[in-house]
Chain A
Amino acid sequence: MVTFTQILINGILLGSMYGIAAIGLSLIFGTMRIIFLAQGTMIVFFAYVVYWAFTLAGIDPYLCLFIVVPLAFVVGLGLFYLLFRKAAALEDKNVSLLLAVGLMYLVENLILKIWSATPRGLNISYSSATIVVGGLRVSWLRLALLGLALVSALVVNLFLKKTRVGTAVRAASEDMEATPLQGINSAWVCAVSFAIGIGLAGVAGAGMATVYSFDYQFGFTFALKALVALALGGIGNVWGALAGGLILGILENLAAFYIGIGWIEIVSYGIFILVLIFLPQGLFGRRGLVKKV
């Protein structure tokens, strides 16, 4: 039983990473209608930034959040206006998809060229600090990760529900063609949601740097896992995306323990396809939303 609970807890912690990434994907998908395949690679990129900020300048990864997240936001805005602005307005979504793929190739291989293929992982003074509750060991860092995911979801949710731009983003994900008719600047809406998506990649990057060892190739798989989490939770639902991530994390840890590490991918993508076929609105999504996709 203790093992099972331990697996559950580890799963939740892995899942919180998926969750953060999935929220970012969800925002970008909502407005631009593409799977932003470079999301995972951006996460890895920001993980490297956090890693080097700690290794070279001794900046604490959690303190670094206050640098990396605004940086990621600005990078997101820049990328959008530089690359995606024109493509986002096209009806042919292949262009945006390929731009994301190109970005993925570019960033992934620049990381390889600049920082080599050696897997990196941080070793901070409090890395090994754990809390023991009833025989279960939970490291503080992993708990902090879950906290990070919850705060991210809360902030994004508040932004979507309480701000004017957030309302516009929601409107755009309901019906992009109607947004200009309501006097909404659709490019700006896309830009903001894209920038927040990349900002979340910054959050996830910092989280990844503290807990996991990562290398340059990690990104693509991670983006796909985030996509699975998103489908599981239901597209267009912030808390759903987070919950999807948590569920996926738990399932993967269970699969690794009971079936074998090599079969994790089969389980997660198998679930992915089953969900797409039989439950396209996801576990927490609204039924009506899928018809528009």
Chain B
Amino acid sequence: MKLMPDFSNLNRRKLVWASFTAIAVVFLGTLPFYYDVHNGQLGIFFFTVFIYGIVGQGWNLVAGYTGQISLGQNAFFGLGAFTTALLWVYGVTHTGYWFDPVLIILSGVTPIILAVIVGLPLLSRLRGDYFSFGTLGMGMIVSVLFLNGGDLTGGSEGKLLIKYMPEGVAFNLRTHYWVAFLAAVFATAVVYFMTTSRVGLALKAIREDEVSAASHGVNVLKYKIIAFAVAASLAGIAGSIYTYYLLHPMPMNVFAQNWLFIPILMVVLGGTGTMLGPWLGALVIYAIAWYGDKFFAGWHPVILGVIIILVMRFLPSGIVGLGDKATGLSRRGSAGRG
């Protein structure tokens, strides 16, 4: 959505993408001015797309650009959601705002702490598939911890936040839309600047050949952890914002597999290791799921399974990679290398 036009290396394809992006950003950014996002269906539709897309954009940084397939994004999403819920319920920050920026930022910080604690042993010792296994195990542990947290975390019932809503605040999706939109722009900008800077070069070097990167002076562990932590933070922020919509985070829903696999599906469909891919994927997947649920109410998870299978069977290289064989090269390294 926010591919910056690079005029020094202007070519037609980039120009098409850049103008497409600009139109999309302007359209989405001004939507609430001429459309009732609270009552209209587009509001909740794009809100959900933004949330999934933010998680996906983070996963894209770890898997698409660094080549480490993390299977623990749901843990970070849930951790962000519970950070917001618990700090809110226990009134730790005393701000009393609706969409408290302090809570959202803190929800982006706790996943970083977890990512560093978990990432240090996992990333320093494990590569490829083993890293995926480890993150999968971490996700299960974190969700079970919240499940067993007793009164502190609310156990399997989680926390009901409605009675803690600040006074005089009306639940209006317009706010959700704005916050999620800004977070989506922020997530994409973070990934954009990270991948176009020195950090990005290091990440791509690690993806292509870890040993070679290390021998060229790249601190492999440091950059892997940076990417993993940034992705975790983005998932946490998405979880925090989603909590303001859900108002009842339970381990069952905020740690659900959906928050792990659907963002991955969106990124892979859109094109791993590309800036716009996650958004295209999020839009397409959620549109299909949305209409599928409308016409076959109650069959939503079945339809989702069919979509995943059909997409991966017939379009394994994603939408962005479609008609551009050259990008196939840049996708090569995303499998467990090393």
Grouping DSSP codes into helix (H, G, I), strand (E, B) and loop, the A interface class, with mixed when no group exceeds half, is helix
Q: Residue B313 at the A interface, CB < 8 A?
A: yes
| Cβ A276 vs Cβ B305 within 8 A | no
Which of B69, B130, B134, B304 contacts A94 (CB under 8 A)?
B69
Establish whether residues A92 and B331, one from each chain, have CB atoms under 8 Å apart when the complex forms: yes
Q: A98-B308, A106-B305, A220-B257 are in contact. List 13 more A-B contacts (CB 8 A).
A: A91-B332, A92-B332, A92-B334, A101-B261, A101-B308, A102-B309, A105-B301, A107-B305, A265-B144, A273-B141, A277-B121, A278-B125, A293-B130
Cα distance, A98 to B310, chains bound together (Å): 11
Q: Is A215 an interface residue (CB 8 A)?
A: no
Q: List 29 A-B contacts (CB under 8 A).
A: A33-B335, A35-B129, A83-B309, A86-B316, A92-B335, A94-B268, A95-B268, A97-B264, A99-B308, A99-B309, A99-B313, A101-B308, A102-B312, A106-B308, A108-B305, A109-B305, A220-B257, A224-B136, A224-B137, A262-B144, A265-B141, A266-B148, A269-B141, A270-B137, A272-B137, A273-B141, A277-B125, A280-B125, A293-B128
In the complex, A94→B269 CA distance in Å?
Answer: 10
Q: Is the CB of A35 within 8 A of B133?
A: yes
Question: Does A263 touch B at the CB level, under 8 Å?
Answer: yes
Chain A residue numbers with a CB within 8 Å of B268 are: 94-95, 98
Given known contacts A94-B335, A106-B302, A99 and B312 CB-to-CB distance under 8 angstroms: yes
Q: B272 to A94, Cβ gap below 8 A? A: yes
In the bound complex, CA of A93 to CA of B312 (Å): 11
A2 to chain B, nearest CB (A): 29
Q: Which residue of A lies closest to B128 (CB)?
A: A293
Query: Is there contact, CB below 8 Å, between B301 and A109?
Result: yes
**Chain B positions within 8 Å of A220 at CB level:** 257
The CA-CA distance from A96 to B133 in the complex, in Å, is: 15
Contact: B148 with A263, CB < 8 Å? yes
Does B147 touch A at the CB level, under 8 Å? Answer: yes
| 0 or 1 for each of B121-165: is its CB under 8 Å from A? (1 = yes) | 110011111101110111011001101100000000000000000
Is the C-beta of B307 less than 8 angstroms from some C-beta in chain A? yes
Interface residues of A in 244-293 (CB under 8 A from B): 262-263, 265-266, 269-270, 272-273, 276-278, 280, 290, 293
Residue numbers in B under 8 Å from A262 (CB-CB) = 144, 147-148
- CB proximity of A17 to chain B, nearest CB, Å: 18
Point out the residues of chain B lying under 8 angstroms from A109, CB to CB. 299, 301-302, 305
Q: Which residues from B are CB-within-8-Å of A97?
A: 69, 264
Find the A residue at minimum CB distance from B118: A273
**Which residues of the other chain, B, contact A29 by a CB distance below 8 angstroms?**
129
Binary CB contact string for chain B from 294 to 321 against chain A (1 if under 8 A, 0 otherwise): 0000010110111111001100100000
B-chain residues with CB within 8 Å of residue A108 when the two chains form the complex: 301, 305
A87 to B312, CA, bound (A): 8
In angstroms, how far is the closest chain B Cβ from the Cβ of A179? 17
Whether the Cβ atoms of B309 and A33 lie closer than 8 Å is: no
Known contacts being A293-B130, A293-B336, is A95 close to B137, with CB within 8 Å?
no
Q: Determine if B264 and A94 form an interchain contact, defined as CB atoms under 8 angstroms apart.
A: yes
| B contacts with A, residue count (CB < 8 A) | 45
Binding site for A on B (CB under 8 A): 63, 69, 121-122, 125-130, 132-134, 136-138, 140-141, 144-145, 147-148, 257, 261, 264-265, 268, 272, 299, 301-302, 304-309, 312-313, 316, 331-332, 334-336
8 A Cβ contacts from A67-126 to B: 83, 86-87, 90-95, 97-99, 101-110, 112-113
Q: Is A228 an interface residue (CB 8 A)?
A: yes
- Sorted from nearest, which 6 A-B pairs have the closest CB atoms? A102-B308, A106-B305, A105-B305, A102-B309, A109-B301, A269-B137
Contact between chains at A228 and B148 (CB < 8 Å)? no
Interchain CA distance A290-B336 in the complex, whole Å: 13
- Tell whether, in the assembled complex, residue B261 and residue A33 are in contact, meaning their CB atoms are under 8 Å apart: no
Is A209 among interface residues, defined by CB-CB distance under 8 A?
no
Is A141 an interface position by the 8 A CB rule?
no
Partner of B306, one of A86, A106, A263: A106
What's the minimum C-beta distance from A278 to chain B, rounded to whole angstroms? 8
Q: How far is the CB of B315 from chain A (nearest CB, A)?
A: 10
The answer to whether A92 and B140 have CB atoms under 8 Å apart is no
B28 to chain A, nearest CB (A): 27
CB distance from B163 to the nearest CB of A (A): 27
Cα of A113 to Cα of B141 in the assembled complex, Å: 30
Q: How far is the CA of A276 from the CA of B145 in the complex (A)?
A: 20
Shortest Cβ distance from B333 into A: residue: A91
Q: Which B residues touch A105, using CB under 8 A? A: 261, 301-302, 304-305, 308
CA distance in complex: A99, B129 (Å): 17
Q: Per-residue CB proximity of A15-35 to B under 8 Å, as 1/0?
A: 000000000000001000101
Q: Is the CB of A94 within 8 A of B309?
A: no
Q: Are A227 and B313 in contact (CB under 8 A)?
A: no
Q: Is the CB of B144 within 8 A of A93?
A: no
**B126, A276: Cβ atoms closer than 8 Å:** yes
Interfacial chain B residues near A101, Cβ < 8 Å: 261, 264-265, 308
CB atoms of B132 and A35 under 8 A apart = yes
Chain A hits for B129, CB < 8 A: 29, 33, 35, 293
Q: Which residues of A contact B301 (CB under 8 A)?
A: 105, 108-109, 112
